[in-house]
Copies of this chain bind each other. A is one copy, B any other.
Amino acid sequence: MEAMDLLKNEKVLPVPPAALLALARAALAEDVGRGDVTSLVTVPPEARARARFVAREGLVVSGLGAALAVFHEASAGEARFSALVEEGERVEAGATLAAVEGGARDVLAAERVALNLVMRLSGVATLTSRYVEAVRGTGARITDTRKTTPGLRLLEKTAVRAGGGTNHRSGLDDGILIKDNHLALAGGVAEAVRRAREGAPHLLKVEVEVESLGELGEALGAGADVVLLDNMTPDEVRTCVEFVRKESPGTVVEVSGGVNLSTVRALAEAGADLISVGALTHSAHSADVSLEVESC
């Protein structure tokens, strides 16, 4: 797979390449600082190295494009990086994910940053895939939230897709989601939805959080495109979904609130279209990946 392909992988909504390179540059600046003293005093400048990313546990791969960008920046474009698996592919422990060859100092300077990204993003993809697996067959989709790591949102959202999930809005500007705090300030569900429909650009949908059947009715009446049922039991969700299907069949139903792997299937079976899970990004473990370096 070519570098360009990695940066523009078709399976996910890709991060613009320029943004990826900028992130790599910033992350290297943070880690390398004024220079990698250890390599400079111990590794000859002409030494070259070959390295392989090896999975040390089963995982769903994400972040190889980011790793490529890191090696690219650290070597001023000199290092050669090849992905051996695809974004979103599930691999077993021991699998080689990618290989890189370049100046030994460059490879060592990039190592930690590249691993930090691949491990975190594969961790997100792997955890997402477990949620996706848990609801298989129900028609519900797993989606992410804005509970992402500051600075890594687009990459983490890409990882969610790599794990089979879908993306909620990317920020506060590409979707309208009226939550309890807005409702208090806006004068209730009906008025808030009305204002949103009137004031928003015509290509943005309007979603509103509701906490009762009464609010749900208000929301549907005011023309909400999506309703969000927060912190409801599966039975409550089922009741709401039935109400929506009858009153406003085109409206999408999202469920959220403390969802975990034990509870997600029941919510899915209760009829939710979307289940949003903050833990996908805020509490994923890093996947265990190592970089095995050899001189060449």
Contact = CB atoms under 8 A, between A and B. Distances in A.
A202 B147 contact: no
A226 B205 contact: no
Contact of A41 (B40, B179, B198, B203): B198
A contact residues, range? 35 or more
A208 to B, nearest CB: 9
**Copy number of this protein in the oligomer?**
6
B116 A30 contact: no
A225 B203 CA distance: 8
Given A181-B108, A203-B226, A172 B37 contact: yes
B282 A120 contact: yes
A61 interface: no
A1 to B, nearest CB: 12
Nearest to A167: B201
Given A14-B35, A112-B147, A151-B30, A41 B176 contact: yes
A147 B204 contact: no
A153 B30 contact: yes
Contacts of A254: 202
